[in-house]
Amino acid sequence: MNVIETSGLGKRYGRTWALRECTLAIPAGHVAALAGPNGAGKTTLLNLAAGLAAPSAGAVTVLGGRPAGSPAALDGIAFVAQDTPLYKTLSAADMLHLTANLNRRFDRPYAQARLGELGIPLKRKAGKLSGGQQAQLALTLALARRPTLLVLDEPVAMLDPIARHDFMATVLTAAAADGVSVLLSSHVLAELERVADYLILLSRGRVQVAGEVDDLLAAHRVLTGPAAEVDRYAGRPVVHARRAEAHARLLVRADAGDPVPPGWAAYPVGLEELALAYLREPGAAALPAPPEPRDAQPTEVAK
């Protein structure tokens, strides 16, 4: 089952396209990361998937083909927006009561127990909680709806490192223990590398890369060698090149078994470097089909 599937999806505000020609199929059972610079279309895509906006072009379905925004879809999706929306003058207990009354399914005992474990007083107003506690309260309200898909828009952007770690630990626990699929957007690439097993990169309103992290990393590698020989890669699948006076560093699409040019060395690539390369070079050629799973290959150095 695909938790989100789009075909030619686009959203326009006036004459400006926030998202264009977005075609995706995100399978269930993943913690999927949505990354990209400001204005890339991340929040627009999340809002379309959650049924909070209507597309200007194309179509989007969720949870195995349900129209986004339909009652059947809304029952299975929990969405936490970027600014951790809470009624600041209501207590945590009031927020539980309100959320329970606005949703057909809400696990109040789970929510109360979880807030107790986190040391969040039920009688304290949401506006008096710390930033980390507010984020945890919003996440608890979402998880207590027992969703199939949890959508998080920049959930840790305003949190300190400890609060960010605790928040993401809760997300991973929900994904592992309760089988919740997760789609989260973030600017913190290092954090995504720790938690995500599926990656979608957006730039200038278009999808640059989408796929399982292991497959994407296996389909790329870093080559280092003489700067004077960079031109030999003209027409080859170079995603990003960084050249110094004597040496060059290339991120290329290649299988681990592809030959390495004489005088060059090949190294595996990390998720953060891969993401930054595609974001620096929007419009890079589409990825080949993901490689078949293979045993890890040792670093290769040409003689």
Tell me: the pLDDT tens digits for 16-74?
999 999 999 999 999 999 988 888 889 999 999 999 999 999 999 999 999 999 998 99
The pLDDT value given to residue 140:
93
| Helical ranges in 131-286 per DSSP H | 131-143, 161-178, 189-195, 213-218, 271-280
Cα separation of 241 and 66, whole Å? 42
Query: Chain-centre distance of CA 271, in angstroms?
Result: 12
Superfamily of domain 2-212: P-loop containing nucleotide triphosphate hydrolases (3.40.50.300)
H or E segment and range at residue 149: strand 149-153
Cα atoms in the 13 Å half-sphere on the side-chain side of 77: 30
The CA angle 33-108-122, to the nearest 5 degrees, is: 95
CA distances from 9 to 19, 122, 132, 207, 209 (A): 7, 42, 34, 11, 16
In tens digits, the chain (303 residues) has pLDDT values of: 999 999 999 999 999 999 999 999 999 999 999 988 888 889 999 999 999 999 999 999 999 999 999 998 999 999 998 777 789 999 999 999 999 999 989 999 999 999 999 999 999 999 999 988 998 999 999 999 999 999 999 887 777 888 888 888 888 888 888 889 999 998 777 778 788 999 999 888 888 889 999 999 999 989 888 888 777 665 568 888 888 878 888 888 877 667 887 888 888 998 888 988 888 876 554 443 333 333 434 334 333
In the three-class reduction of DSSP (H, G, I as helix; E, B as strand; rest coil), residue 150 is classed as strand
pLDDT at 147: 94
pLDDT of residue 156: 75
pTM for the complete prediction?
A: 0.83
User: Which residues are within 8 A (CB) of 252 and not within 5 positions of it... i.e. 6 or more apart?
Assistant: 220, 221, 222, 223, 233, 236, 237, 238, 239
Please state, in angstroms and rounded to a whole number, the distance separating the CA atoms of residues 58 and 82.
25
- The answer to whether 60 touches 68, Cβ cutoff 8 Å, is yes
CA distances in angstroms from 103 to 98, 138, 192, listed in the order given: 9, 15, 30
State the pLDDT at residue 296.
38
In the chain, where the domains are located: 2-212, 219-301
